[in-house]
Chain A
């Protein structure tokens, strides 16, 4: 098995202010490892969008990052409401966010499309009423 650096974070679904802590930590780690700046930014944005989603839609969850020499694999796992129609959720501009979330500057329906745009592979595994796991792979 390939060796990797594994980082695991609890994403607090009740604290909007702390959303982004996990992504910030991964970003810092990648920088320290000497990963190129463009790749670091792609990881930071994709993971941050996912982390925000976990907080605003799914009451938080777990974020796991596995860093390999040439790539990073990210797993964002929540026990939230699940996504009923993934194709629809992937459409730019489609959002189920409330007015309250929009007033915080999010919920434009760009989160999932943006995560796809910045990653090399993205898989969504979701069951309504059980939760969602988003897998992101970004190659450096």
Chain B
């Protein structure tokens, strides 16, 4: 699927990177623990999280991820959005909870 499909499936708001919605993605992971993301994730292109600090963007950047989805209606502060824009990472925000958001993407074909 593409990031645009994620936006539609999760009824998500686009915080930055609206010009990169046609990027293809195949896998995702969900975690509030960046340590675990760095330790266990392999080639995932989307990170779903409820954590809002700049290190979420840094972690995604180190892992070459393409998109971060903030769950539970959370929105990061503007400097975090600016950092993601600079790194070319798409930021989305959805009202859905982490488990539900992951479930929707998984049942629609996104792998783990």
Contacts and interface: CB of A to CB of B under 8 A. Distances in A.
Interface of B is mostly: helix
Contact of B55 (A19, A109, A114, A117): A19
Interface stretch (A42-50, A72-80, A127-135): A42-50
B36 interface: yes
Contacts of A107: 35
Contact of B56 (A23, A52, A105): A105
Interface string B19-38: 00000000000001111101
A85 B59 CA distance: 28
B64 A41 contact: yes
A117 B36 CA distance: 13
A105 B55 contact: yes
A60 interface: no
B62 A105 contact: no
Interface in A3-20: 16-17, 19-20
A14 B32 CA distance: 23
A53 B85 CA distance: 26
Interface of A is mostly: helix
B53 A104 contact: yes
Interface string A88-120: 000000000000000011111111011001000
B38 A45 contact: yes
B82 to A, nearest CB: 12
A37 interface: yes
27 contacts: A16-B54, A16-B55, A17-B54, A20-B58, A20-B61, A20-B62, A23-B58, A24-B62, A37-B64, A44-B62, A45-B63, A48-B58, A48-B59, A48-B62, A52-B55, A105-B32, A105-B53, A105-B55, A108-B39, A109-B35, A110-B35, A110-B38, A110-B39, A111-B35, A114-B38, A114-B39, A117-B39
Contacts of B61: 20, 24, 27, 44
B16 interface: no
A61 B79 CA distance: 24
